[in-house]
Structure formats: structure tokens, C-alpha cells
A and B are shown apart, each in its own frame.
Chain A
Amino acid sequence: MKIRPKFEWPADKAKAHRRAIYLEWLTIGWMLSIVLVLYLTLGNSQAMRTAWFEDMLGILPAVAFLVAARIERWPPDQSFPFGYYRSISIAYLVSAAAILGVGGYLLYESALKLIMREHPTIGLTSIFGYELWMGWLMIAALTYSIIPPVVLGRMKMPVARDIHDKVLVADASMQKADWMTGVAAIIGIIGIGFGFWWADATAAGLISLDIVKDGGKHLWRAAKDLADESPRTVERADPHPSLERAREAALSVPWVKKAELHLREEGHLLSGSVFVVPAGGVNAIDRLHEVRDAINRADWRVHDPDVCLVTESELSQMPGPQNPETGEPERAQK
């Protein structure tokens, strides 16, 4: 069996990837501390239990990222000749499901509270010998719980774009969910303080709709990635620029007359087939590697593509990339 060559990160991307790993370890550390602080303050309050459970689920994308980042490094072998690069796509799916789970759980809990007309009880607590309304303590803990997600989420997005890491994108999305739930819970507790028993559940319910929407969006994207959708940018707005870069690179080989390609996502990488029409009178078979080398030089993400020789008439039957909404042919900006 032919086993694929192992992918090596270019130096600058490897650095960004190491930073992503560092950020995710940081996330796990902070989130665990938040889980602990919330656990210590939640007492027997149902509202805080929800926030606590949600923060526990919130660690899942970070864990999925780190596990996948490790598995991804395994070299291709007899059982997995294409390598383990898709573990990243699977981690993306897991993270998306976790976000949807958090949103769904929050929506269910808050709807149930409103339907049951549950009046949240927040009484007194003693801390260092002082009697204090438990609500203030909860607000303090929740304030602590919203700061790290805001900061970490913002630090992650540029790195995610740089190395095209969708797990990181999903994780940033999860952290948005984390801090928004925290703010909602604070507003809810203040509302309870003013005698609006529905404030907590209403704030949480509204936020949960947003989280469900985000989770659904990511789940759908992760499913499409695993179903080999033509690669698009992290935010999905445009066809991925690597497509056009790889095509240009193939065309830059002197003996290539025409080139077209189809690629799919394999985690960080893109792979697939490049179809080239050779100019007449060239021993194309012996020079096929030139196409692969040109693409490798042009774009780090396109890994080990199959280069296929085709005739001009065969190529003319292959459409270029299309906009998924309009069906119109489109080319990425260079």
C-alpha cells in the first residue's frame, strides 16, 4: 500500500499552531478555575447550577482541540494511509455539537422555569462573619466568570484565521456563549433583586437562542466539511483563496496548458485532485512532480494533491467552483 507523505507545518504557521495550543491550555486552566468558583458560590441555587453546568460543557471544544492536535501529528500508516488530518474536522463537529448542547440545555431550562413560574429563591449567606445577600456573591463570581472568556475569545480569532483552524473558531464561539450567559445571569440576579422573578429565566432564554443559532451554524458547517464541500474561508464568505492559488501555481508550470482542480478539507489541510492538460510534445508523465512542487511552494495548505493528466475536451466538461447560494461560477480574489 502506498502511504502518503507526512505533512510538515511551515515555520511561521507552526509557531501560530503552537500559540493556539498554548491558548487552549490557558483556556482549560481558566475555565476549571471558573467552574470551581461557581461551584463554591452556587449553594443550592438552580440558576447558578445552570451557569456551572454550562461552563463545564464549555471546556469541551478546548479538550477536543488538544486531543485532535495530538492525533493529527501521527504519521500516516498502513491503517490510515491518508493520515490523521481529519481528526481536526471531527473535533470541529464535536465542538459544534457541544455549543448546540449548551444552547439547547439553557433554552430548555429557562423555558421550563418560565412555564412552571418558578420563583428563584436567593437568601442570605455568611461570609467572613458578615451577613450578605447571596445575590451579590453570585454576581461577583459571575463577573469573574465572564472576563477570561472575553479575553481568550478575542486572542483566538486571529490565530484561527491564520492557520485556518475551525476548532479554534468554534471554541471562540463557545467563549462568546460563556460570557454572554454570564452577563445574562448577572442581569437576571439583579432583576430578581427588584422582584422580577422572571428576569433570570428570560435573560437566559434570549441568550440561549443566540447560542443555539451559533451551534447549529457550526454543526451544519462541520457536517459539510466532512461531506467534502469545496473549501471556503473560515467565516464561509468566500471560496478559499488556496483553490485559486493552487490553480495558478499549476498553470505556472511551463508545459501546463490548462488546469482545473477539486479539493476538500482535511482539518487544516486541503487535498484532492489537480487536472492538467499538457502542451503537445511534452513527456508529461516524467514531469508531473513539477506541478505538485509548484503547488506546494504556492500554498502551505494544499497537501499532496493527486495530479491527473486529462485531455482538453475532458477538462472543458468540468465546471469551476460555484457559489453555493447562487450556483454562479466564482473565483476567489487573489
Chain B
Amino acid sequence: MSSVRVLTFLWSVLVPVMLGGCDEFPKDPNQTLERVRDGTMRVGIIEQQPWAVLEEGRAQGIEVDLVRKLAESLGAEIEWAHATGTAALQALIERRIDLLIGGQTEDGPWSTEVAFTRPYLTYGLVVAAPAGAAMTNMDGEPVRVPPGSALAADVEDKGGVAVVKDEAGVVLRAKPVWQVSPEEQVVAVLRQARHVVAVPRGENAWLIHVDKFFSAQRESVWRALTAMAEQ
């Protein structure tokens, strides 16, 4: 069969389908959005403060609140997955859950196995000096970073010395910009954190719905973060 004939055949199949109703475009291959609407939304979490954590088996955090709002807008019940962390990720890859949250960023290592939304929240991760420290850079200075954080490498790359414990004389702190108080001084920008949430690959209608919902929450998330920092 010649290719021209194949193309003609595909056209003749697709065009009637196309004319046959464009209520929702693109559609999901596995009808996730349709199923979740007035149904059940299966959600997994990667535990990370302040985005999503389990406290006595109950999910809490900024993204958890957003997911509850999303479920409400869709008239859906939430079924929280038992698994967290990489097990939850595996569940998403195998399509046993519909949504994975927990402070994931766009540069996460599994971007080829799951589908990320566009970043719904972007901010800088910076090094801040306390008021009156009179520092303009972190060259050769010790910088306190959260234990197990990738920020340690960023600090070292940019000339600082990463430390994980509070010691005498360590005044610089690596932290998200929303934790920087007005008195503090930003001496270096380490990287941008671009927050995303993940859905199974190829569920394009679902992806777009979640994407639009989270994008619309940027302001309220920002307010929640700054309020949290002030406490």
C-alpha cells in the first residue's frame, strides 16, 4: 500500500471523528478526567514540607489543600494512596493513581516517565545574610543548607562552603526567597524552584485540567507561603 493511500485512509477516518463532536479537545486515552468528574480521584504524595506530609495518616500541606479544592470543583472524592515517595511515583507510572503531589520541581529526575504540568509557582532559592552582617557575597563563607538538600552543590558551585549544622560563626542561610524576612539581605541566587505536579503520561485532557487549576492558584499559594514564613 502506498503512503499516499495510507494518509488518505487516515484522513478519512479522522476527519469524520473530528466533525463528530469537539466538546473536549484534546481527550484522554484512558478517560481519566471523565472518570474523576463526579467520581474518585486517586492521589499519591511525596512527603515534603510544607507541600504535602502525612500527620497521623492524614495528608496535610499547601498542595494537599489545593488538591482538596480541585476535587471539590470536580465533585470528586479523594482516595489517598497508601504509598508515598518512590512507591507513589511507581504507582503513577503504572497508572494506579491519577495525581502525584509533594513539592516536585520541573528539573525532577522522572520528567520522562510521568507528565508534569507547567510550573504553577516559581521562586528563587537564595542565600540570605542576617541584618547587619554587612556581606555582599558568599565567597569562602560557610552557608547553612538543609540536610540532604541539593542546594549544597549549588552553594559549592558558586564559591560558598556548604554546612549542614548550625555552628558558631555560620550566619549565611540557603533558603527559599519567601522565607527571607525584610531585614535580611540576599547575597546570592542559587537556582529557581519551578513547582509542578505530575499526572500519568498521555492523559492530556486531565493534564490540561490540572495545569489550569494549579496555575490559577498561584496567588493564594504565595499568600500561604509568606504567611507561614512570618509565623
Interfacial residues, chain A to chain B (CB-CB below 8 A): 44, 118-126, 131, 133, 135, 180, 183-184, 187, 190-197, 203, 206-207, 209-210
Sample (29) of A-B pairs whose CB atoms are under 8 Å apart: A118-B201, A118-B202, A122-B26, A122-B204, A123-B204, A123-B207, A123-B211, A124-B207, A126-B118, A131-B212, A133-B25, A133-B26, A133-B208, A180-B7, A183-B7, A184-B7, A187-B10, A187-B11, A187-B14, A190-B18, A194-B17, A194-B25, A194-B26, A195-B26, A195-B27, A195-B28, A197-B202, A207-B7, A210-B3
Question: Which A residues lie within 8 Å of B118 (CB)?
Answer: 123-126
Query: Which residues B208-229 have CB closer than 8 A to chain A?
Result: 208, 211-212
Interfacial residues, chain B to chain A (CB-CB below 8 A): 2-3, 6-7, 10-11, 14, 17-18, 25-29, 31, 111, 115, 117-118, 200-205, 207-208, 211-212
Query: Once bound together, how far apart are the Cα atoms of A193 and B26, in whole Å?
Result: 4
Question: If the complex has contacts A180-B3, A192-B204, A207-B3, are A124 and B211 also in contact, measured as CB distance less than 8 A?
Answer: yes
Please tell me if the beta carbons of B29 and A196 are within 8 angstroms of each other in the complex. yes
Nearest chain A CB to B13 CB, angstrom units? 9
Question: Which A residues lie within 8 Å of B203 (CB)?
Answer: 119, 121
Please tell me if the beta carbons of B26 and A119 are within 8 angstroms of each other in the complex. no
Across the two chains, which residue of chain A brings its CB closest to B3? A210
Please tell me if the beta carbons of B115 and A123 are within 8 angstroms of each other in the complex. yes
Give the number of A-B contacts (CB < 8 Å).
Answer: 83
- Extra A-B contacts (17), CB below 8 Å, given A120-B202, A121-B204, A123-B118: A119-B29, A119-B200, A119-B201, A119-B202, A120-B201, A121-B115, A124-B118, A124-B208, A133-B26, A133-B208, A187-B11, A193-B27, A194-B18, A195-B29, A203-B10, A207-B6, A209-B3
Please tell me if the beta carbons of B17 and A210 are within 8 angstroms of each other in the complex. no
The answer, among A121, A124, A190, A203, for a CB contact under 8 Å with B202, is A121
Query: Once bound together, how far apart are the Cα atoms of A105 and B124, in whole Å?
Result: 41
Please tell me if the beta carbons of B201 and A121 are within 8 angstroms of each other in the complex. yes
Please tell me if the beta carbons of B26 and A206 are within 8 angstroms of each other in the complex. no
Nearest chain A CB to B20 CB, angstrom units? 10
Query: Once bound together, how far apart are the Cα atoms of A191 and B14, in whole Å?
Result: 7
Please tell me if the beta carbons of A197 and B29 are within 8 angstroms of each other in the complex. yes
Question: Which A residues lie within 8 Å of B207 (CB)?
Answer: 121, 123-124
Across the two chains, which residue of chain B brings its CB closest to A123? B207
Query: Once bound together, how far apart are the Cα atoms of A120 and B30, in whole Å?
Result: 13
Query: Once bound together, how far apart are the Cα atoms of A191 and B27, in whole Å?
Result: 10
Please tell me if the beta carbons of A124 and B26 are within 8 angstroms of each other in the complex. no
Nearest chain B CB to A174 CB, angstrom units? 14
Question: Which A residues lie within 8 Å of B14 (CB)?
Answer: 187, 190-191, 194
Query: Once bound together, how far apart are the Cα atoms of A193 and B212, in whole Å?
Result: 17
Please tell me if the beta carbons of B18 and A44 are within 8 angstroms of each other in the complex. no
Nearest chain A CB to B7 CB, angstrom units? 6
Query: Once bound together, how far apart are the Cα atoms of A184 and B25, in whole Å?
Result: 19
Question: Which B residues lie within 8 Å of A187 (CB)?
Answer: 7, 10-11, 14
Across the two chains, which residue of chain B brings its CB closest to A125? B118
Best-buried of B3, B117, B202, B207 by chain A (most CB within 10 Å): B3
Please tell me if the beta carbons of B2 and A210 are within 8 angstroms of each other in the complex. yes
Across the two chains, which residue of chain B brings its CB closest to A211? B3
Nearest chain A CB to B33 CB, angstrom units? 10
Question: Which A residues lie within 8 Å of B200 (CB)?
Answer: 119
Question: Which B residues lie within 8 Å of A126 (CB)?
Answer: 118
Question: Which A residues lie within 8 Å of B204 (CB)?
Answer: 121-123, 133, 192-193
The answer, among A124, A194, A206, for a CB contact under 8 Å with B27, is A194
Query: Once bound together, how far apart are the Cα atoms of A22 and B14, in whole Å?
Result: 39
Nearest chain A CB to B46 CB, angstrom units? 20
Across the two chains, which residue of chain A brings its CB closest to B111? A44
